[in-house]
Amino acid sequence: MPEEMLFPTSDDDLLISVYQKQGRTLDDLPYTDAFETLYTSMYGDEDDAPHRAKVFHRLHNLRKAGKLPRMGRAHGQRPRITPEQEAMLASHVEAAVGALSKRDQLLYTTAFEELCTAFNAEAGLELSRHDVWRLIAKLAK
């Protein structure tokens, strides 16, 4: 007979609970202190970028399954860029992952770091990784 747990919970339930406490929308979460708090709460101080990507991917799947609560609006304003800069950014994303629809594959990868550096240099900007992600998340939506 399987042993009953005193406080049954799944990793997904715990992840959802910790996500809710951050108070940020999923698209607004990457590359923020809130994501680092979520990650550390779940996995400790393990500094593993590919694992961070898996955590975000799991959250994304939970959202698609309707299991993540709506968190309202993103914090602050998304940076404004020109249509030319937006096209430039889309081109960088497509070069990195093949299609805009695959943009989530960029999170917490060296390809994303390289994209940020290249886009900022080409566009003459100094955007944070979080700001670049927010712009990418809204491409083709």
pLDDT digit string, tens, across residues 81-140: 999 999 999 999 999 999 999 999 999 999 999 999 999 999 999 999 999 999 999 997
pLDDT digit string, tens, across residues 14-34: 899 999 999 899 989 999 999
Handedness of CA 109, 86, 103, 55 (dihedral sign): positive
Give the pLDDT confidence score for residue 91 in this predicted structure: 97
pLDDT at 7 over 90: no
DSSP of 58-81: HHHHHHHTT-SPP--SPSSPPPP-
Pull the structure tokens for residue 41: 């709460």
pLDDT digit string, tens, across residues 32-51: 999 999 998 888 877 777 78
pTM: 0.84
Measured CA to CA, the distance from residue 42 to residue 15 in angstroms comes to 7
Measured CA to CA, the distance from residue 64 to residue 21 in angstroms comes to 19
As a whole number of Å, the end-to-end CA separation of the chain is 50
Pull the structure tokens for residue 90: 């889309």
The confidence band for 77, taking pLDDT boundaries of 50, 70 and 90, is: confident
Orientation angle between helical segments 33-43 and 11-22, nearest 10 degrees: 150
* Average confidence (pLDDT) over 69-92: 88
Give the pLDDT confidence score for residue 1 in this predicted structure: 45
* CB-CB contact of 134 with 79 (8 Å): yes
pLDDT at 5 over 70: no
